[in-house]
Amino acid sequence: MSNSAFTTLRKFIITAICIALTAGYAGAADRSPMSDASRGYLTSATAPDSAMLLPPPPATGSAALALDEEISRDSQALKDSPRWALATMDADLTFPAAAGAFSCALNAPVTEQDTPHLYNLLRRVFADTNQATSRAKKKYMRSRPFVANGKPSCSPKDEQFLKTNGSYPSGHSAAGWAWALLLAEIAPDRADAILARGRAFGQSRVICNVHWESDVMEGRFMGAATVARLHGDPAFRADLEAARAELAAVRAKGAKPARDCKAEAAALAEIPPNVPWPANR
């Protein structure tokens, strides 16, 4: 096969997988960011303070920064791959797209129609993790990998904003890990699949070239800190129980995710040979 023919075939396969992954959202009308009605459970006074909890990001010349740079560089092997396509989907934190990120791991749909309590719970928890990571982001204003290495990101339309938004810690990773912890609590029989997806959701940010590995790791820490704080809130606990009952009912009916879960699993299995653990998911 000639180089041109191989390139054409590769582009066709990647495009087909992207279409399969996104098919469940093709008719979605609500693509807007969270409304005021989906505010979080916590306040600025009760949310975890990332500026106090986190150490500074890796310093220039440190071994930690060298590792960040190595993982970032090696992760570029996934550019334009099915895993890159999934990472691009994971970058979208608007609803309803974000609500479906864990549907394959749950083996159940997560939509405003099927699971309204769970849908709103995820939106509100996202607001809380966003608040929990904001202070360290503003304090350190760490530059993004695509700024440092000049390579493309999977969110070119967002790059101008991302340049003005601190990279450390990763807000996406905080949200994804918080969601994973809560969903594993709601559906313990699916916990391993859910937690693996939560890990991959954060790692998508490295693959997208918009976060460093240390951003993702500390984002997960802030996600866990947020969940710990949320469990002290009565309104959150009530909504969590309502979401648990709701999901159980949907699963009892045998409802299935709208996503192509086989395509998602194949994308998650794609590992570049030179990327060290833990960045290879």
What residues act catalytically? 172, 205, 211, 215
3-state secondary structure of 61: coil
Beta strands in 88-226 (DSSP E): none
- How many residues does the structure list for the chain? 281
φ, ψ for residue 126 (rounded to 5)? -60, -45
Could you tell me the CA-to-CA distances from 198 to 159, 230, 276 in Å, in that order?
A: 24, 18, 19
DSSP labels for 125-164?
HHHHHHHHHHHHHHHH-PPPHHHHH----S-GGGHHHHTT
> Among residues 262, 244, 15, 17, which one has the least CA distance to residue 121?
244
| Six-digit token string for 180 | 């994973």
